[in-house]
Amino acid sequence: MVSFAVGLTKNLPDGRVMRSFVENHDLVIWRSVSGQLSCWLNRCPHRGMRLSHGFVRGEALACVYHGWHYGKDTACRYIPAHPDLDPPGTIKTMAFRSFDKGGIIWVNIDNKKDEPIIPNNLLSVRSLEFRCPLEMVEAEIPEFEYHSAKKGLLNLKIKKQGFGKWIIEILGQGLYMHLFLHKLPSQKCAIHALSNDNVSSEQRKDMSRLLEHLRYVSEAKYKVLAA
Amino acid sequence: MNAIEQAMQYWYPIGMLGDLQRSETRKTRLLGMDIELKTEQSGLISVFHQKKPWNTKSAYGHIWTSPSKMPKPLFDVPEAGDHERRFVPCGSVRVRCSPLRAVENFLDVAHFPFVHTDILGAEPHTEVEPYSVNIDETKDEVIATKVKFYQPQAAKSASDGIVTDYVYRVPSPMNALLYKTCPNRDDVQDVIAIFVQPLDEETCDVWPWMALYDDQSTMAEMIEFQQLIFLQDRSVLENQIPIKLPLDPKMEIPTRADLTSVAYRRWLKKHGAIYGAMVSSTDDAWVAAQ
Ligand code: FES
Ligand SMILES: [Fe+2]
């Protein structure tokens, strides 16, 4: 199974927690204070609380319900109700392989080694959630047209690059945007977008507007279809 | 007897006494059934499901009903007859969780420092000292005693942190009461209850009710305090997986601080009180969550 892009590296700073989904698995993804990334099933073994509501304490993730701490190795390290207890090694969360590469956070739910091929020097554009299914967006991308306020109708060259991965080249400007599509539950999806490193921050703002337009068109079509 | 038949034997709260208007019909739900709560011009109250009347009664500031022709008697709260107390029904909070999870959360002190931070608990005072849990055989209730916890602001009327003593009672599967140190007087205890109205197995309206010795706070302040606490609880209750309360000991991991919860789950299982529970780890919803 391939690795799934679940977010932009830059959107999960050290000491922060986020929730994501891969293939209907509810996941918590967090980065320790020293910067280590972990991805676990989003469920505290104690009483089932979603760990994505928790908080990072140093190198551990603490559950918000009773404050149990889990280390990067998934083992429960500390139970606040029993401060002197050394928690039994059997109390563990369930981990999935996760890593940062090329500005993207990747998750591999069957834990097989799979290194996505992605240039290392990309710049983050943004992550955007769409209230329509991924298939809808995939169908929309090849047809997509965009009128920029400054440059008029852009000449786009759009290429599918593999599973959930597209490249949009803005011809005449030599600018590339890389899109990573991410399926979410409840008929939603997200796009995590990056650009080549020759793209200025102003141009990345334009790309971000282009993405918003893609979202607008896809969601509008979905509304018509769903009605 | 299946889950719903077992659940149908009890009384459930469906409204606050002080809140009903004359000549008014309200729609609500109980155990997955649509019901109507009718108040006549004369003040007479009745409850109907598919045009058939159900038993009703008023007690502890609320209207109670039961789908059963011969419901089990409603549990006794002797403090409700103590006229020195102020009785505070707090309205209801809708929670997308199993009614049993709502009760279990009410029985738990270990979450105070994390969920009710700086009010009912605060780090580093997180330790739960050993306490006792029994089943009162005559009343058939779960009872936890000698529960102690350090609280920065135990009640609306508390000005300093105190170690609060708690006693818990679970007189029926979806109702629980606690008796706690009263911040103003050390000879009596405040009573706080939650009465849970199961709309279905995964949704409930929780009706907190209090019987307090507090002559300083206004009614509105006391209600606001309890509502704040309960909204904090709701944020965890709506995020537990699975939604139903697991009764198979393999599914969750209790520690000594969870003795009340362990006893409560066993007692539910013994009574077949499994409406809102997940009985086995082979349940589809459980397997899907793995
Ligand atoms: S549910 Fe996570 S610590 Fe209790
Ligand atoms: Fe609470």
> Which tens digit of pLDDT belongs to each residue from B266-283?
999 999 999 999 998 777
Residue nearest to atom 3 of ligand 1 (CA): A66
| Over residues B184-199, mean pLDDT | 92
Q: A83 — contact with chain B (CB < 8 Å)?
A: yes
- Closest atom of ligand 1 relative to the A49 alpha carbon: 1
* The pLDDT value given to residue A162: 84
Spell out which residues line ligand 1, taking CB within 6 angstroms: A 44, 46-47, 49, 63, 65-66, 68
> For A103-129, what is each residue's pLDDT tens digit?
999 999 887 778 888 888 899 999 999
Q: Which residues surround ligand 2, an ion (CB under 5 A)?
A: B 233
Look at chain B and count its residues: 290
Contact B127 A82 (CB under 8 A): yes
With tokens 């082979």, the residue in question is B282
Is residue B56 domain-resident? no
Q: Is B232 a domain residue?
A: yes
Poorest-confidence range of A101-115, A178-192, B85-99, B227-241? A101-115
Q: What confidence category does residue A149 fall into, taking pLDDT thresholds of 50, 70 and 90?
A: confident
**What is the greatest pairwise CA distance in chain B?**
56
Domain covering A4-108, topology: Rieske Iron-sulfur Protein (2.102.10)
**Residue B10 pLDDT > 80:** yes
Q: What is the pLDDT of residues A18-61, one digit of tens each?
A: 999 999 899 999 999 999 999 999 999 999 999 999 999 999 99
For the domain made up of A122-226, give the CATH fold: Alpha-D-Glucose-1,6-Bisphosphate; Chain A, domain 4 (3.30.530)
pLDDT digits (tens, 9 = 90+) for B242-268: 999 999 988 999 999 999 999 999 999
Is the confidence at residue A151, as pLDDT, over 90? no
B233 falls within a domain: yes
- Using the Cβ of A41 and the Cβ atoms of chain B, whether some distance falls under 8 Å is answered with yes
pTM: 0.95
The pair phi, psi for residue B194, each rounded to 5°, is -120, 130
Q: Please give, rounded to a whole number of angstroms, the shortest distance from the CA of A82 to a CA of chain B.
A: 6
Number of domains observed in the structure of chain B: 1
Q: How confident is the model at residue A1 (pLDDT cuts 50, 70, 90)?
A: low
Tell me the pLDDT tens digit for each residue of B31-67.
999 999 999 999 999 999 999 999 999 999 999 999 9
Task: For residue B25, tell me if it sits in a domain.
Answer: no
Structure tokens at B147: 């529960």
Interface confidence, given as ipTM, is: 0.95
Q: What is the pLDDT of residue B141?
A: 98
Find the CATH number of the domain harbouring B131: 3.90.380.10
Is residue B24 included in any domain, yes or no? no
Report the residue count for chain A. Answer: 227
Residue of the CA atom closest to atom 4 of ligand 1: A66
Q: Which residue ranges make up each domain of chain A?
A: 4-108, 122-226
Tell me which residue range forms the domain holding B162: 85-271
Per-residue pLDDT averaged across A2-25, rounded?
96
Interface contact A81-B239, CB threshold 8 A: no
- For the segment B26-35, the average pLDDT, to the nearest whole number, is 98
Map tokens 């676990």 to a residue.
A40
A49 chain-B contacts, CB cut-off 8 A: 236, 239-241
CB of A43 within 8 Å of any CB in chain B? yes
What average pLDDT is seen over chain B?
94
Same fold, A4-108 and A122-226: no
Q: Label each residue of chain B as H, E or C.
A: CCHHHHHCCCCEEEEEHHHCCCCEEEEEEECCEEEEEEECCCCCEEEEECCEEEEEEEECCEEEEECCCCCCCCCCCHHHHCCCCEEEECCCEEECCCHHHHHHHHCCCCCHHHHCECCCECCCCCCCCCCEEEEECCCCEEEEEEEEEEECCCCCCCCCCEEEEEEEEEEECCEEEEEEECCCCCCCEEEEEEEEEEEECCEEEEEEEEEECCCCCCHHHHHHHHHHHHHHHHHHHCCECCCCEECCCCCCCCCHHHHHHHHHHHHHHHHCCCCCEECCCCCHHHHHCC
Examine residue B251 and state whether it is found in any structural domain, yes or no.
Answer: yes
Chain pair A-B, CB pairs under 8 angstroms = 72
